[in-house]
Structure 1
Amino acid sequence: MSGRRIGFWYRLAAVIVKPPLIALFKRDWRGMEHIPADGGFITAVNHNSYLDPLSYAHYQYNTGRVPRFLAKAALFKPKFVGSVLRGTGQIPVFRDSSDAANAFRAAVAAIEKGECVAFYPEGTLTRDPDQWPMIAKTGIARVALITKAPVVPVAQWGANEAMPPYAKEKKIRLFPRKTLRVLAGPPVDLSAYYSQEPTSEVLREVTAVIMRAVTELLAEVRGEPAPAGLFDPRAAREGK
């Protein structure tokens, strides 16, 4: 199956979002050949700006395979925005509740129907001081092992230069004109884990393999070496 068609709501969103993105930013898009032409799959994307979901959605929309994002449930509350999110098939995530698992069940169902589900595995904007990916949550690993679908790592950079992740002043710095860089890589080989029991240790290991692939791509995009290890926000909070 080729997955979700570009229907009314996605086209409406594109009409609203694409013109300003095209006018205000330059683009450096690479690796589109790694986005599967058909069948269900997962993308794992780093997250370093409130603008980068728009940058990434623009990139993948142009491949003809529209993504379904896991989005905070609160984003669905505004009437118009909620209508667009529901119409484009985005998946609400109810954090810190018994409904949290429903998002992963919906993700599995979408992938099994031949759609793409885009994960920001870190779950929030990176806390790494240099904006490298940080240790991620294991939801993506759980869905990947259940579906055995291709997991395509994606690195993006540039939206964070227009809107830094934790700037004290939430001003968008559009000029000089920034370049939105997106690079997709070949699917991560997780076949060695398919026969294993999905224990917490295995899920953490699979997540680490995925995030290492994303980080290596980001190093290529940034043109600088990646750090030896990923930033651990929990250890940072505990002062370790």
Structure 2
Amino acid sequence: MVTFYTIARSVVKSVLMPLYRVEVRGREHFPKEGGVLLCSNHIDNLDPPLVGITAPRPILFMAKEELFKIPVFGKMLANLNAFPVKRGASDREALRKGIKFLKEGKVLGLFPEGTRSKTGEIGEGMAGAGFFALRTDAHVVPCAIIGPYKAFRKVKVVYGPPIDMEELRGRKASAEETTAVIMSHIRRLKEESQ
């Protein structure tokens, strides 16, 4: 079925792939079915569309609620499977939606750092990623975006194998600790792929 998401994905792919000579690795690690929590580092505003065109399944992204207030752009975001989250506070509605999507077997895309890295270095993640990983049985897939975004220079998107969450879920680890584990996998993926 043709949707706004599939049309937009094709258009964006036809622009970004050649412009940034995008190299994708590890797509074979991406589970073909079931809930997936996709966690990536965040270096640029282009990260969500880049992950959206390189992942093998459609992704639902959380986006800061201010973006949904921008005329036309906000409507477009909603049509691209994004949903609003209030930053700087525990947004229960957004958390409930994220859990619901994962339990329905969908892919939820997160940038655990919460904001773009100004240096390109991977920062600390916020507890939200750990919260979703612990509250669902979703596969947790790390992703490293290796830039910078410069026209006709290579940008890499690397997907790692799902992180084994059994031990963390079994001992009821904290969301903060779980996020730290996820971020360590993203860092390792970046270091091994540069």
Tell me if TM exceeds 0.5.
Answer: yes
Matched, 1:26 2:18: no
1:148–1:194 contact (8 Å) kept in structure 2: no
Cα distance in 1 for residues equivalent to 2:123 and 2:8: 30
Describe how 1:82-97 pairs up with structure 2 within 5 A.
82-97=74-89
Deviations 1:45-87 (A, max 9, x none): 0001122222211111xx1x11111111111123332222212
CA radius of gyration, larger in: 1
Decide whether the 8 Å contact of 2:34 with 2:139 is kept in 1: no
Task: State the 1:154 CA deviation.
Answer: 0.5
Tell me the residue number matched to 1:195.
Answer: 170
In the TM superposition, residue 12 of structure 1 has moved relative to its aligned partner by: 2.9
Query: Secondary structure of 1:92's match?
Result: strand
> In the TM superposition, what are the counterparts of 1:46-57 in structure 2 within 5 Å?
46-57=41-52
Map of 1:185 onto structure 2: 160
- Does residue 216 of the first structure (1) align with residue 188 of the second (2)? yes
Shift of residue 97 of structure 1?
4.8
Query: Structure 2: which 5+ residue stretches go unaligned?
Result: none
Matched, 1:148 2:148: no
Q: 1:68 aligns with which of 36, 41, 60?
A: 60
Query: TM-score by structure 1 length?
Result: 0.75
TM-score, with structure 2 as normaliser: 0.92
Letter of the structure 2 residue corresponding to residue 156 of structure 1: I
Residues 144-176 of structure 1: CA distance to partner in whole angstroms, max 9, x if unpaired? 100021100000112x342xxxxxxxxxxx2xx
Write the distance in 2 (CA, Å) between the matches of 1:81 and 1:215.
32
Q: Summarize the Cα distance change of 1:209–1:12 in structure 2 as closer, same or farther, 3 Å threshold.
A: same
Shift of 1:7: 4.8
Q: Percent identity?
A: 31
Q: Is the 1:71–1:91 Cα contact (8 Å) retained in structure 2?
A: yes
Moved over 4 A (4+): none
Counterpart for residue 167 of structure 1: none
- Give the RMSD, CA atoms, in angstroms: 1.8
The amino acid that maps onto 1:126 is S
Instruction: Indicate how the Cα distance of structure 1 residues 140 and 205 shifts in structure 2: closer, same or farther if over 3 A, else same.
Output: same
Tell me how far apart the structure 2 counterparts of residues 161 and 17 of structure 1 sit (CA, whole Å): 15
Matches within 5 A, 1:34-53: 34-53=29-48
Amino acid at match of 1:220: E
- Distance 1:183-1:80 versus aligned 2 partners, 3 A rule: same
State the Cα deviation string for residues 109-130 of structure 1 (Å, max 9, x = none): 0011110001100000125x4x
TM-fit CA distance, 1:15: 4.1
* Residues 4-59 of structure 1 deviation map (CA, whole Å, 9 limit, x = unaligned): xx751202322442222134121211100111111111011000112222221111
